[in-house]
Each structure stands twice: as structure tokens, then as C-alpha cells.
Structure 1
Amino acid sequence: MTKADNEREAPCAGLRIGDLAPAFSARSTTGDVRLSDYRGRWLILFSHPADFTPVCTTEFVALAQSASEFEQRDCALMALSVDSLFSHFAWLRLIRDRYDIEVRFPIVEDPTLVIGRAYGMVAPNDNDSATVRTTFFIDSAGVIRAMTCYPANVGRSTPEMLRTLDALQAVDNGPVLAPANWAPGEALLAQPDASLDTVFSAKGQTDWFMKETMRGSRK
């Protein structure tokens, strides 16, 4: 791999699903925050390229409108960018005045990129975080359960964030799997039985590894 390739290293490359989320403390729009404060509940930590930008504004309006749905799932939201705390405040005031919605979840300032780099939200040699929208789904034990990366010119889908959270919480209820496009109330899939007797005794060709179950609906 060349030096240029290293400089273009993909965001999230340093962390994997199943890793413990890196600890941090920082100033935010709701006061000082520490990652450890969120142990015991789910947390969605996400970066945004910059305050006062069009796509980010639509994201924050959408997330603020859906904040109660995340709360119902015992999941907190926390945003992060390189902008200063006072830039965050000014932007949230604009959002409230223009869209009549208050963003009450914390937005962390990260002007030195310490947190962004620890989470792979920016490439190692970038000077700002304006290239990606990275999202980490962190469970109640502080473990990273899912990650997504979007480019700066494409906004996240709030319904998909909720669906991903629902699926992660559902599979925690038992040895089950969430199929494509799964939504709460729909059947989950049972874990296949890794037994040759089960394979040979199954009535249908796929019955031994494709079996629906309602067990494990969202908490």
C-alpha cells in the first residue's frame, strides 16, 4: 500500500464491530459529557461535517423530531463535529427559529479532532471532519454493535437508524437473526442448527437453515 493509499484510508477502519467504544470526555451543548455516563443504555454517536450546512441541518431537524422514538428504545443520541461549542449554540438557535424544533441531545465540540480520530471519523491526515457522516451504534455495555459511513453530500435515513436499532435490540433477546428489511412485529429467523441429522431430517430443502420465529421482538 502506498503512502497516498494510507492517506485515503477509509473512515471506521480503526474500529470493528464488537470493539469497546473508545472512552472520551468533552464539552457539549448540554454540558460536559463522558462516554461512561451512558453505560447501562444504548447510545448512537454520530459525526457531521459542519454546522450551518444544508444536509446537516436537515439531519438534525429529522433527528430532533424523532428524539422521543429513540428515547422509547432507551437510546440516547450524541453528535460531534470540529465546530466550537458556540458555533453549535448559534446553529441550534437558527434551527429552532427557522424550523420550530429544539435539538436537545448533546452536540460535542471536537476542534482538535481527538475524538474523531479515535473513532476513525476522519482519515489520519485530514485537517477537518468535512468528508464523512459516521454513525456508531453502542450498546449498554459500551460495545460497538454497528457502524455506518455516509459521504458529506448524502444525508442519513432516520427511519433506517431506528430500524437498525430495533434489529440490534431484537437479536439481543435470544439466538435469533434479523432478515433483510426486518421491522418490529415481523418474524425473525432462528439460528441454524449445525447438525447433520437436522440437515438430513428437514422436510424442505431450506428448512434446516431458514426457519422463521417470532421470538426476540424489540424490547
Structure 2
Amino acid sequence: MKMKINDIAPDFEAATTQGPICFHEWLGNSWGVLFSHPKDFTPVCTTELGYLAGLQPEFEKRNCKIIGLSVDPVANHGKWAEDIEKSQGHAVNYPMIGDSDLNVAKLYNMLPAEAGDTCAGRTAANNATVRTVFVIGPDKKIKLMLSYPMTTGRNFDEVLRVLDSMQLTATHQVATPVNWKQGEDVIIVPAVSDEDARQKYPNGWTTVLPYLRVVAQPC
């Protein structure tokens, strides 16, 4: 069954570069970014893992864990990590899941059930659909899914921006407008009446349209 936003992220047990995990237990009360790769030692993915390694402290400030997945054994991941640090300048300090049996890729609907049960003999082209970013909340629900083609590197600054928006809107009755960044004005959601908004925002707001009310980002 195809997964949707707000579905529970499938739980699984797997070997990683930092030892075996049970995914939900590993996530705990944190947010999480699970991002997948079709194969180790691929050029675009090498740049992605390195960039995200450099950005990891920003995710940690937001109580968000990072975990990668590649359709290869864990032993290969360790060798790939050396290349990543050497070429990208950042050590990969987050765990990488070994998915040599394709279990997680199929569980998350990135490969079909008939893909088999081994990565042996498979190429990056065979696994081209294993190029998704999942953001998962502390409630273990999927909050975001982004799928990319093999030739296009992912924008992890955008993932961080969306995480800021989701964490803000999870605690305040607001939404964020197009291209919003941390600290910019937000939108009061229609479910909040003007009367309630006056209590929440005594300094007022700007009414652009009856259903579009803009206010300073709440703290």
C-alpha cells in the first residue's frame, strides 16, 4: 500500500554502521530524517551524504536525528564513508542502514515486492527509485516525502527549512507562506477566528484577504 503524509512510518530492525537498531526505538522522542540511496559509491549520493554530514549540527539543534539508507551491505558503507570524508570534507557521523536484502526499500515502497531479496547483481539504475527523503515526527508519522531523480542532488537546506516550518506550525495555529524562512511573517490559519486571533496576537495582524491574515512569527 502506498504511504501518505500522516501515515505511521513503518518500523523495522536493521544493521547500521553504528550497530543494530529498531527504527522507532532509535527515533525515540525526536524528529527524524531518513534518506535513501540506490547504491554505494555513486557520485551524486557522495555529495549528498557529505553535505548532510556538515549540516548535522543544525538538525541536532532542532531535536532531529539523521539516518541514511543504501541498497548495499554495511561493510560497503564504511568504505564509502572514507571517500565521502576525503572528497566532501565532512565525516559521516550519523548511522547508515545496510539494506542488502532490500527489506527497508520495499517496506517504504521504494522498490516493488518482486524486486527480490538481495542487492547482489543490482545496479544503481535498477534501484533508481530508492531516492526519497522522509521526515518523520516524534509521533512516528510521516510528515514529508520528497523523491528525486538520480541525476539531481537533493536540497537539504530545503529539508531544514521545511523542518523549521513543521516544528513551528505543530506548536502554533499558523501556516507558513511560499518560500518562508525562519523569522519571517506567518499566516494565521482559517480555523482561528478574528476574536481568538485578537487574544493570541494583541499587536494585530495584516489582513491581505479575508482568509489571508499575516502576522509576525510567534516565539
Does the alignment reach a TM-score above 0.5? yes
Name 1:68's counterpart in structure 2.
57
The answer to whether the Cα contact below 8 Å between 1:29 and 1:89 also exists between their aligned partners in 2 is: yes
- Counterpart of 1:92? 81
Q: 1:40 to 1:123 in 2, by over 3 A?
A: same
Q: What's the counterpart of residue 7 of structure 1?
A: none
Shift in Å at residue 20 of structure 1? Answer: 0.7
Contact 2:50–2:89 (CA under 8 A) maintained in structure 1: no
1:189 aligned onto 2:187: yes
Residues 211, 20 of structure 1: CA spacing in aligned structure 2 closer, same or farther, 3 A cutoff? same
- Aligned residues: percent identity? 36
Q: Deviations over 1:115-161 (max 9, x none)?
A: 11111122344455333411111001111111111011111001111
Please name the residue that 2:199 is paired with: none
- In the alignment, what sits opposite 2:17? 29
Aligned partner of 2:55: which letter? S
Q: How many residues align?
A: 198
| Cα deviation, residue 191, structure 1 | 0.8
- Alignment root-mean-square deviation, CA: 2.1
State the alpha-carbon separation in 2 of the partners of residues 74 and 193 from structure 1.
28
| 1:98 CA drift (Å) | 3.3
Report 1:200-215 matches (<5 A): 206-215=208-217
Cα pair distance change 1:173/1:50, threshold 3 Å: same
- Cα distance in 1 for residues equivalent to 2:32 and 2:91: 19
SS state at 2:212 partner: coil
Deviation at 1:30, TM superposition (A): 1.0
1-structure distance, mates of 2:207, 2:54: 46
User: Which consecutive unaligned segments of at least 5 residues does structure 1 have?
Assistant: 1-12, 196-203
Conservation of the 8 A alpha-carbon contact between 1:39 and 1:141 = no
The SS at the match of 1:69 is helix
CA distances 1:42-73 after superposition (whole Å, capped 9, x unpaired): 00011111111110001011101111111111
Tell me if 1:152 matches 2:150: yes
Superposition deviation, residue 97 in structure 1? 3.0
TM-score of the pair, normalised by structure 1: 0.83
Residue 20 of structure 1 aligns to a residue whose secondary structure is coil
